[in-house]
Structure 1
Amino acid sequence: MKAVVGDTIVAEAPESDLIKIEGNWYFPPASVNDELISTSPTPYTCPWKGVCQYLNVTVGDETLPDVAWRYPDPYPGSFERVGKDFSNYVAFWKDVKVVE
């Protein structure tokens, strides 16, 4: 599967390597093009996943703020709920299309 902005691939991995949480596909950290993402100061804490780190995606001259996120240190109890350790896996919002 791929996470794309236009023709630019932001992340790519086999579906079997992704984790689906609450309808969002989370890509493994190694599958994300780190050159296209930067951390955002936007704060958020999920009541059951923990402290979220929002990410900006930059493609060419365009920066899309807060269109990706990850949980660097999820709450330990969340692993049982998800069924897998999803630390630092990256999910994308609607401006970044996830396609097969």
Structure 2
Amino acid sequence: MFVRIVKLSFEPSKVDIFLSLFNSKKEDIRNFEGCTFLELYRDKKHQNIFFTYSYWDNEQALHNYRHSDLFISVWSETKQLFNDKPEAWSVDKLERLP
């Protein structure tokens, strides 16, 4: 399983815009071919920092998503809200809890 973790830091005044955008697109992303899981987390200390955590069938599935019209439209709106450069990690899940 291929896991993607992305850290997103927003202008505090634009957090509600981001949340609205995420909520309007999350099911489209979850239903994108190859995506098997998507969650959004918010930092406890810094309320304008979020993390997306997603599972993909493989690296090619994520690549296909990142080159899709869906990603291009979501990302073009999202990146206007940042106050810092996003960070991303691609990791392999080694152990699954029972």
Q: Shared fold (TM-score greater than 0.5)?
A: no
Query: Of Structure 1 and Structure 2, which has the larger fraction of its residues in strand?
Result: 1
The higher relative CO (CA closer than 8 Å, separation ≥ 6) is in 2
Larger Rg: 2
The TM-score range, normalised by the shorter chain, is under 0.3
TM-score (norm 2): 0.27
TM-score (norm 1): 0.26
Query: Of Structure 1 and Structure 2, which has the larger fraction of its residues in helix?
Result: 2
